[in-house]
Structure 1
């Protein structure tokens, strides 16, 4: 282990390098998961032998509640999970095979999280008996290099292949509208939003924000944002989607837009500030991020900021290349991200302000969250030999920096 368990504490985290910290945490979690799997197996044995006969309690959950001060609900979840991994007993005392015996072996080794176990077990429960062993092996093999959300997507595809079905859409009668909204900017640069809506509008807004505010626990690690932060980011994403809609009304003969003004030198260095709209400001680094995929109007200003020459408007990622990106990446290309193409921006692998060309081999489709992550983290992206994007994780996550790809998006049905 990276350090003795007795001395692995805050001091270790303050002084060790990122790789050692990540290794230590991984080993500690593996130990914890292995112990939990062993506890679950023992509790199933106690249950089958008879907890009443052994300890005088009516259920294992009540027994644990008094033995180790474990809440009854948590104990019930633990035992329920373990029952799926261990052989059962019929009324005549004969053994019933476990639903997921191979999952039990891997779980006992500490290599599966509880969400991963629940995901695989949920798929196997709906899998016909004759396919269950093969499906379990496929899911476990995939789980070695993926998170539980990606395994859930693969499981859903397997079940859809084994049980093709669908549900007809349901239409709802619209409610009578009753809506009010105010949006104002404070001197600090913070905007305040207040409003009231009818039930139908509120429900639709809630559904949109709920979808956009899901936790993004992808390959870069867990999502540590608070609920308020996630819904704030979701509102920003919803505004981006609306602003990019071709059905948005024109203003003064132009598509709705926000002007960002910055000098070319500041854009290249990422140091300084940019003018946002009429009165706001953003950092040059933030402007650099937006410059990956935007409309550019070059302008020459005089010593008193008077316009001397204004060039023609041009889009950095033209429609043809954007359509090619949609077809190639099928959505955000970051490993584990499910965002579709309409939620994404074109990112220049070699930055445009540094001479990077606006061509398919230098572009990758990314959602706003992972676009920002790439600009500020140790993740790197490149185009592989087969023409598809792949991401190199930071060394603290994988010291080998093994390339990763996103396999959540459905490939084109007619692709080779």
Structure 2
């Protein structure tokens, strides 16, 4: 309960604190008594109770910020009088913001926001001594009432102050009221989007100059770090960034939909109690073949797929059709499957399996050198599958043959099941399979075995992934009933023989 003699400025904080106390008590499980340990209390709360407590604490935090902002602004004003004994310097700080950051334990930038919001929402004094309303009255009321947090108020302040010289005063006031009203609904991130649209509406002549500034600031840098990672750093203007963003998000979205669909029943599918749901997807809920990448990793894989597709596209730019990633490897190392190779333009050496993997992608050619190979020769013509063979493999696999993968044929390449050099594998249809780059990596890195029997593909995990080494059926372009899984033990024995 708020004390009768409470200082008026503190009434809002006191009421919010009482609200937290009441909500906290009501959120505790029946029979549970509050303790000095907030962690224990939180764990005993119901789901709805946790939400109510979070909302009450948010209200309290905004009320506290409503007091911090004017105090910070006044402290800053007294520290900028030019006198030798300004407040901040007297307490050992170079500025009021430094003092505030130290006192609150927060960041310097947070102190800057407190000062700016406090100054923008405080009443002003005219030269005549008359008290004038705050520079942004709608925002001042929202902050003092706890409806808007300091972060949101700072976004609105910076927008209003920046657009004021070029906007009509009435429209500016309406924009302020609109943003203040929407702030609790859309949050700070949503405010950034609204501000961009509002800026274009209030200052239509400034849209093109701002766009030109963004375009002039575009950049994309590529370098290799000391660990051998290829690093990217860039920024794109909206016109150039939109297709890049859309292409990557579309590919990643398709992968996420595939992973999601593998875990839920098909539309209209009935599942009896206690019965195991038959999966439309052979990879359904199978942890061994399930998606394991993070979103960031999927973004990079999508970008790499786009680059590979561009290098191999017959109708792409002439410069790309003539470009070729060159991998160099000693013939003896390739024959033994031990050693390393290099990629032109990349300092970091790569393994022999990676060289063999690169050689199977269009636009990439291995260059051999060593005893008897002093004359450099291209090995693509004999080791790569022909276009006609790829069409047959695509007809069988549809795209990537990995269980449940939805990558289309344009993002896959024909892969030798028994490798060209190490196993003396042939470029024949019964030794070929379509794989995307990511699952090609998984085949090599995790020791999977691929079998083809009666036109069906089977993926056999290594023992460390599945001690039983149960074969997983691969994708097929047309659904059909697969024969019983092959005898992996017999197959491995025949290969060893």
Calculate the TM-score normalised by the size of structure 2. Answer: 0.43
> Are 1:272 and 2:355 counterparts?
no
Residue of structure 1 equivalent to 2:350: 282
- Deviations for 1:18-52, whole angstroms, at most 9, x for unmatched residues? xxxxxxxxxxxxxxxxxxxxxxxxxxxxxxxxxxx
- When the two structures are aligned, how many residues end up with a matched partner? 249
Tell me how far 1:238 sits from its aligned partner.
Answer: 2.0
1:184 is the counterpart of 2:222: yes
- Tell me which residue corresponds to 1:72: 48
Equivalents in 2 of 1:411, 1:377: separation in Å?
Answer: 28
Distance 1:184 1:364 in 2: 33
Q: Deviations over 1:49-73 (max 9, x none)?
A: xxxxxx9xxxxxxxxx999534339
Contact 1:301 1:308 in 2 (8 A): no
Pair 221,335 (structure 1): closer, same or farther in 2 beyond 3 Å = closer
In 1, distance between residues paired with 2:298 and 2:379? 38
Taking a change above 3 Å as real, the CA distance of residues 270 and 411 of structure 1, as seen in their structure-2 partners, is same
Q: In the alignment, which residue of structure 2 is the partner of 1:361?
A: 430
Equivalent residue for 2:403, pick from 320, 335, 343: 335
Query: Which residue of 2 is the match for residue 256 of structure 1?
Result: 323
Once the two structures are TM-superposed, the CA of residue 410 in structure 1 deviates from its matched residue by 4.9
Which one of the candidate residues 446, 456, 474 is aligned to 1:377?
A: 446
The structure 2 residue matched to 1:404, chosen from 449, 457, 472, is: 472
In structure 1, runs of 5+ residues without a counterpart are 1-54, 56-64, 76-174
Report the CA distance between 1:352 and its aligned residue: 0.6
Secondary structure of the corresponding residue to residue 400 of structure 2: coil
Secondary structure of the residue that 1:182 maps to in structure 2? strand
CA contact (8 A) 2:325 2:365 kept: no
TM value normalised by structure 1: 0.50
2:275 matches 1:207:
no
Deviation, 1:287, is: 0.6
Q: Is the 8 A contact 1:259 1:277 kept in 2?
A: yes
The residue number in structure 1 matching 2:272 is: none
Identify which of structures 1 and 2 has the higher relative contact order when contacts are C-alpha pairs closer than 8 Å and 6+ apart.
1
Match of residue 231, structure 1, among 271, 282, 299: 299
Q: Secondary structure at the match of 2:404?
A: coil
- 1: CA distance between counterparts of 2:341 and 2:317? 27
1:350 to partner: Cα distance: 0.8
State the Cα RMSD in Å: 3.9
Structure holding more helix per residue: 2
CA contact (8 A) 1:270 1:288 kept: no
Q: Deviations over 1:331-378 (max 9, x none)?
A: 111111111111112111111112100011001111111111111214
For 1:312 and 1:268, how far apart are their aligned partners in 2? 14
C-alpha distance in 2 between matches for 1:236 and 1:228: 13
Q: Structure 1 residues 225 and 74, CA, compared in 2 at 3 Å: closer, same or farther? A: farther
8 Å Cα contact 2:418-2:424 kept in structure 1: yes
2: CA distance between counterparts of 1:398 and 1:228? 27
Q: In the alignment, which of 236, 239, 242 is matched to residue 197 of structure 1?
A: 236
Q: Tell me if structure 1 keeps the 8 A contact 2:328–2:366.
A: no
User: Equivalent of 2:416, from 330, 337, 348?
Assistant: 348
List alignment gaps of at least 5 residues for structure 2: 1-29, 31-40, 52-207, 260-282, 481-497
